Amino acid sequence: MIVFDQVTKVYSTGNTILDNVSFHIKEGEFVVLTGPSGAGKTSVGRLLIRDLLPTSGSIKIEGVELAELKSGQLPDLRRKVGVVFQDYKIIPDKTVFENIALALEIINYPGKQIADRVHHLLDLVGIPEKDNLFPIQLSGGELQRAAIARAIVSEPKILFADEPTGNLDDATAKDIYQLLLEIHNLGTTVIMSTHNEKFLPGHRHIHLEKGKIVADTASSSHSKEKHKKADD
C-alpha cells in the first residue's frame, strides 16, 4: 500500500534528514516508527502527505507516485492519509466540535450528519463532553484525543500519528495507544511514530537513526493476549 523506495531528503540547508530509506507497508498493518528526535520520523509523515517532496527516490501510495501528483490532486491524497500532528494543529479559535467538523466540511460531508458523526467520534476518543470547549481549555491528553478524532473523522485509509504520546503521562499515553489500536482494528492502516516503545510490543517496528533505517522487524499479528499484555 505504501512504498518508500530509496528515499532521500536533503533540506536546502544541506541537512540530510532521510538517507536512502526503503520500506513497504501493507494495507491494514500497524507500524511503529521509532527513533530518537531528529531521526526523520516526522519527515516520513510529511512526505506521506506530500507536504515535502523527496530529493531522490520514489514514494507510492496505492501505486500512485506522489511526486507526479499535480497540486490539484493533493487534497485527494491528504483525504486518504489522516495525520495526527505532533503539535496537534488544532485551530485555536474554533471549538473542539468545530475543529473536528472542519475535516468533514472539507470533504463535503452531508451537513445534517456532521453533528452526529462528530459526536460519535468524540465518544470514541473519550471526550464526549468537551465538544464546546476551546483548545486552550483542554489538557494535553484531551488535545491529543481531539487531534486523533479530527484525523480519523473522515475515515482515511491511512493514519499517521506523529509522536501521539510524546508529551503525555504514562496512563494517558497508554489510553492513546489503546485508541489507535481500536482504530487499527476498524481496518485503518496505522503508522505511529514514537521515541517511547514502552506500550508497543508485537508490532512491526521500523527504527530510524540519523535518517537511516537501522532495524525493520517483521510484522506480527496482534493476538488478544499481546494486547492484554500491553494493557497490563
Partner 1 sequence: MINTALKNIRRSPYQALAAVSMTGLTVFVVSLFALVSLASQLILTSFETKPQVIAYLSDDHKTEQVNSLISDLTTTGLVKQATYVSKDEALKIYKESVGNDPLLLGTVTDLGIITADVLPASVEITAKSPDNFPTLVSILERSKIVSSTPNGQKEIDFPQDVISELTAWTRAIRTAGLILASILSFNSVITIMIIISMKIASRRYEIGTMKLLGAKGAFIIKPYLIESILYGAVGGVIGWLASYIALLYSTPFLAARLVGIIPLPVDPLVMLALLAVLVVSFSSLGLFSGLLAAVRFLKR
Smallest gap from Cβ 198 to partner 1, in A, equals: 29
What the block records as the C-alpha cell of 116 is 452526529
Interacting residue with partner 1 among 53, 107, 214, 215 (CB under 8 A):
107
Stretch that binds partner 1, among 15-23, 101-109, 128-136, 197-205 (CB under 8 A): 101-109
Q: Which residues of 71-90 are buried (b: 16+ CB within 10 A; e: fewer)?
A: eeeeeebbbbbbbbbbebeb
Interacting residue with partner 1 among 85, 160, 177, 199 (CB under 8 A):
85
Q: How far is CA 75 from CA 58, 147, 179, in A?
A: 20, 19, 26
Stretch that binds partner 1, among 14-22, 79-87, 171-179, 202-210 (CB under 8 A): 79-87
Looking at residue 217, what DSSP letter applies? P
CA dihedral for 34, 35, 40, 46, sign (positive or negative): positive
Q: Does 51 bind partner 1 (CB under 8 A)?
A: yes
Pairwise CA distance, residues 176 & 170, whole Å: 10
Stretch that binds partner 1, among 104-112, 120-128, 198-206, 214-222 (CB under 8 A): 104-112
Residue type present at position 10? V
What the block records as the C-alpha cell of 161 is 500519528
Smallest gap from Cβ 75 to partner 1, in A, equals: 4
Interacting residue with partner 1 among 60, 78, 207, 210 (CB under 8 A):
78
Q: Does 76 bind partner 1 (CB under 8 A)?
A: yes
145 vs 150 by CB, closer to partner 1: 150
146 vs 181 by CB, closer to partner 1: 146
Stretch that binds partner 1, among 97-105, 158-166, 182-190, 224-232 (CB under 8 A): 97-105
Three-state SS string over 81-150 comes to EEEECCCCCCCCCCCHHHHHHHHHHHCCCCHHHHHHHHHHHHHHHCCHHHCCCCHHHCCHHHHHHHHHHH
Asked if 2 and 45 touch (Cβ cutoff 8 Å), the reply is no
Stretch that binds partner 1, among 15-23, 53-61, 102-110, 182-190 (CB under 8 A): 102-110
Q: Does 61 bind partner 1 (CB under 8 A)?
A: no
Catalog residues that contact partner 1 under the rule CB under 8 A: 49, 51, 72, 74-79, 83, 85, 89, 91, 102-103, 105-107, 150, 154
